[in-house]
Amino acid sequence: MTLVLCLFIALFLFCFSLGLVFLVYTWILWTSSLRSPADGAADKGGEKGLSTAELERLGDGGGAAAGQECAVCLDDIEAGQASRVLPGCRHAFHRACADRWLTTHPDCPVCRAHLDPPPMPPPPIAPPSVPVEVVVCR
């Protein structure tokens, strides 16, 4: 009889502990859902995706994507099709598939690597205007 009682108490305590963990997890999810959208944006640094200018600075990967499979639409990337190879992780996509994702997310759709587009090139610097004196010798 005592063995049965010990097993019952052990099973009860195990189920009670799991229930307590579940309640704590549910409470954490509930309280995080109560935060306003502004709080959530502050946690992510306000990142919404890449702008058109940033997408153009990413480039296309120089045709290195031909023959690979687009991880978004699962179609092969044919030679001559507009494609985009992401810097860093080198995952390849059709340009339209990648741009659709990257306008709302600043990371790779496959590995979630954060994309930092190359910085804007500096504006061309005009040579300093130095007065030139022309001397003619005879």
Q: Is the domain of 99 the same as that of 52?
A: yes
Q: Is the domain of 21 the same as that of 80?
A: no
Does the global pTM surpass 0.85? no
Which CATH number belongs to the domain containing residue 50 in this structure?
A: 3.30.40.10
Tell me, yes or no, whether 131 lies in a domain.
Answer: no
Tell me, yes or no, whether 126 lies in a domain.
Answer: no
Tell me, yes or no, whether 58 lies in a domain.
Answer: yes
Q: Is the domain of 114 the same as that of 48?
A: yes
Exposure string of 110-128, with b = 16+ CB inside 10 Å and e = fewer, is eeeeebebeeeeeeeeeee
C-alpha 126: how far from chain center: 37
- Average pLDDT estimate for 81-101: 82
Q: Is the domain of 111 the same as that of 53?
A: yes
- Average pLDDT estimate for 54-83: 76
Instruction: Work out whether the CA dihedral 95, 100, 101, 102 comes out positive or negative.
Output: positive
The pLDDT, as a whole number, for residue 91 is 83
Tell me, yes or no, whether 49 lies in a domain.
Answer: yes
Both tokens of 42, joined, read 């502050």
Residue-number span of the structural domain to which 91 is assigned: 42-119
The pLDDT, as a whole number, for residue 57 is 75
- Average pLDDT estimate for 99-128: 78
Q: Is the domain of 17 the same as that of 65?
A: no
How many domains are contained in the chain? 2
Q: What is the mean pLDDT of the chain?
A: 78
